[in-house]
């Protein structure tokens, strides 16, 4: 199975922007847009934040956006708020019809 | 309103078989391009995808766990059952079921609350 690499942690002050990366390979992230992002606050189930690299579900703040460059997908959170502090996971639906998750990134709001 | 809820044992012994049930509402297990997925998360660790099943009974399993996993569906009860054989303490985790939408794009749009399963003698 493919491996997705995320930074273990990122941090930012309220009002700032932070970007979380998710790096795969040419065979997956590089050639397909099947990347989604999930936010998980402590003790709760993950929540879908972004799908197909750039699409935002209804109800998710416009401060969350997704992008991709080469083999790396990214989640950007602008106007950082205390409530954004959580773990974030990228997920990829592979061409083999199985899923792979990244190792997760802990976002700390300073 | 779409909901999913996991149910099953809280504790299982090593070598036993785990059976978890995901009961869904707000959508049909026969809905085209809507599947049910199982995902687990060991305490303090990352999410791990386990398996998913689609309305045509198409099933996919994690490569590393394929020999231990099985999925089945009871459409009349709106339930998807996951069985995992030969449980080990490393399988201690919160097990989530989620709806996988494959309508135009692929994503897990609804999640259950999760069920913590501890493997202990």
Which residues lie across from A78 on neighbouring strands?
none
Report pLDDT digits (tens) over B73-83. 998 999 999 99
Task: Tell me what pLDDT residue A2 has.
Answer: 56
What's the CA gap between B20 and B92, in Å, rounded? 13
As a whole number of angstroms, the longest Cα–Cα distance in chain A is: 40
Cβ distance of B111 and A36 shorter than 8 Å? no
Per-residue confidence (pLDDT) for residue A13, from 0 to 100: 97
pLDDT (average), residues B65-70: 97
Asked if residue B67 has pLDDT above 80, the reply is yes
Of A45, A51, A89, the CB nearest to B107: A51
- Give the whole-angstrom CA distance, residue B20 versus residue B83: 6
Residue B59 falls in which region: left (phi positive, over 0), alpha (psi -120 to 50) or beta: beta
Instruction: Please write the tens of the pLDDT for every residue from B74-118.
Output: 989 999 999 999 999 999 999 999 999 988 889 999 999 999 999
Distance CA B1, CA B27 (A): 8
Q: Do B107 and A52 touch (CB under 8 A)?
A: yes
**Average pLDDT by stretches of 10, chain A with 110 residues:** 86 97 90 94 97 96 96 97 97 92 96
Separation CA B17–CA B50 (nearest Å): 15
In this predicted structure, what is the pLDDT of residue B55? 86
- Cβ A99–B46 below 8 Å, yes or no? no
Nearest CB to B109 within list A48, A97, A101: A48
What would the pLDDT profile of B28-46 be if each residue is shown by its tens digit? 998 888 999 999 999 999 9
Nearest-neighbour CA in chain B from A84: distance (Å):
18
């Amino acid at each position: 199975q493919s491996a997705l690499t995320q930074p273990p942690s990122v941090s930012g002050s309220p009002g700032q922007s932070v970007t979380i990366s998710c790096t795969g390979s040419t065979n997956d992230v590089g050639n397909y847009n099947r990347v989604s992002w999930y936010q998980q606050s402590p003790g709760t189930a993950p929540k879908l934040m972004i799908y197909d690299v750039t699409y935002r579900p209804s109800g998710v703040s416009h401060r969350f956006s997704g992008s991709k460059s080469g083999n790396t997908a990214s989640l950007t959170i602008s106007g950082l708020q205390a409530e954004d502090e959580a773990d974030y996971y990228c997920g990829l639906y592979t061409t083999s019809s199985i899923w792979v998750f990244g190792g997760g990134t802990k976002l700390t709001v300073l | 309103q779409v909901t999913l809820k996991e149910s099953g044992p809280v504790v299982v012994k090593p070598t036993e078989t785990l059976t978890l049930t995901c009961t869904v509402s707000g959508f049909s297990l026969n809905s085209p391009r809507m599947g049910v997925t199982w995902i687990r998360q060991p305490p303090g660790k990352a999410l791990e995808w386990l398996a998913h099943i689609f309305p045509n009974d198409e099933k996919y399993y994690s490569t590393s766990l394929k020999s231990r996993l099985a999925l089945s569906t009871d459409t009349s009860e709106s339930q998807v059952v996951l069985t995992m054989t030969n449980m080990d303490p490393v399988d201690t985790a919160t097990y989530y079921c989620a709806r996988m939408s494959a309508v135009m794009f692929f994503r897990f749009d609804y999640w259950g609350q999760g069920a913590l399963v501890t493997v202990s003698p």
